[in-house]
């Protein structure tokens, strides 16, 4: 019944609402940033995968004429290092000199063919992006590296916004 008490409760409620709105805006901004970073990282992965596929073709060509493609192999090794900073990969050198690259068990580069990743709205939350193979064959498992970090950050932002 106290007017002073009612005014105090209203003031505190208004202050709490302001704080919650600020946190909400920060989480939405973080989610947007994670999505942008994931999109950029996926493009970087695609670019490197295509470069590796091109190098595989060049290496096979050099070996076919009896030369040693040491410079090309060095370039390939540098690209594999860059790629492993972005996503968790496994690479194996084949008998023909090419390198097959797996993204957590899924083919990313095989001979002169590169798989292409894409970002799509997540089924569980359309405001978050998921990584898939562009050909629709499967969701891409991006653990480790920058992409894995972005993915974990997205999940944290998602949990923060859904509480």
Summarize pLDDT for 90-149 with one digit per residue, the tens.
999 999 999 999 998 899 999 999 999 999 988 888 888 889 999 876 778 777 665 554
Write the CB contacts of 102 (distance below 8 Å, at least 6 apart in sequence).
Answer: 89, 90, 91, 92, 108
- Which segments of 65-127 does DSSP mark as H helices, in order? 70-86
């992409």: which residue's tokens? Answer: 147
Angle of CA points 91, 119, 109, to nearest 5°? 20
Two tokens, residue 47: 């670019």
- Which segments of the chain does DSSP mark as H helices, in order? 3-64, 70-86, 145-162
pLDDT band at 42 (very low <50, low <70, confident <90, very high): very high
């995968």: which residue's tokens? Answer: 49
- Distance (Å, whole) CA 136 – CA 93: 27
pLDDT for residue 163 is more than 60: no
pTM comes to 0.80
């Amino acid at each position: 019944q106290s007017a002073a008490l009612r005014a105090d409760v209203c003031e505190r409620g208004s202050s709490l609402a302001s704080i919650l709105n600020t946190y909400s805006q920060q989480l939405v901004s973080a989610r947007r940033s994670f999505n942008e970073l994931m999109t950029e990282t996926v493009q970087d992965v695609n670019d490197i995968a295509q470069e590796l596929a091109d190098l595989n073709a060049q290496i096979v060509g050099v070996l076919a004429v009896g030369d040693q493609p040491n410079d090309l192999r060095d370039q390939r090794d540098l690209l594999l290092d860059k790629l492993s900073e972005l996503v968790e990969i496994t690479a194996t050198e084949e008998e023909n000199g090419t390198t097959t690259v797996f993204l957590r068990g899924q083919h990313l580069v095989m001979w002169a063919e590169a798989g292409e990743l894409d970002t799509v709205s997540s089924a569980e939350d359309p405001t978050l992006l998921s990584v898939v193979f562009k050909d629709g064959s499967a969701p891409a498992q991006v653990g480790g590296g920058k992409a894995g970090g972005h993915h974990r950050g997205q999940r944290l932002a998602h949990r923060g916004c859904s509480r």
